[in-house]
Amino acid sequence: MGDDEAVAVFRKFEIFGGFNDEQLRLLAFVSEERALARGDTLYVAGEKADGAYVLVTGTLEGIDGDLDGAGARAPYPIVAPALIGEMGLMLTRPRATSIRARSSAQLLYIPREPFLKLLRNDPELAESVSAILRAELARYLERIAQIAPKFSQ
């Protein structure tokens, strides 16, 4: 995938909305292409996050917990285009879910350090990305609060 194609893919996601053309090209330059065959594992719950992935083509599935079926819910589909593990761009926390391919898939891996370097060089961009991630975290916590009563009975 060329840089122009990667930039076009990045533009589909809110988190990259504040990036200018040069910044998106730099992000495309440092990104790595990954290919998965059906059944391949992208990452497993508990692994240390070191970046994020953009699913360009194909379908993945998210599994809460381990791949051996010990998760609490059934696998859920992740269809392209999708941004996966975006919190890994900012945090080194362990991954909460496992991700594997339901079909062959093409991805772009965005490593954390180059991403953070772009943010360090542009405080306005850093604030924009932080606001988007805060809002996403708030939505996630709200969903948890909505389903929490089901588990306290």
Domain count, the chain: 1
- DSSP string over 20-62: -HHHHHHHHHH-EEEEE-TT-EEE-TTSBP-EEEEEEESEEEE
CATH of the domain at 132: 2.60.120.10
- pLDDT at residue 141, rounded to an integer: 77
- pLDDT at residue 67, rounded to an integer: 63
d(CA 74, CA 30): 34
* Contact by Cβ (8 Å): 24, 3: no
Q: How would residue 140 be classed by pLDDT, with cut points 50, 70 and 90?
A: confident
d(CA 143, CA 150): 12
pTM: 0.85
Least confident segment among 53-57, 92-96, 129-133, 140-144: 140-144
**In this predicted model, what pLDDT tens digit does every residue of 51-107 receive, in sequence order?**
999 999 999 999 986 666 554 568 899 999 999 999 899 888 888 889 999 999 999
d(CA 62, CA 97): 6
- pLDDT at residue 83, rounded to an integer: 96
Residues present in the chain in total:
153
User: Range of 28's domain?
Assistant: 3-151
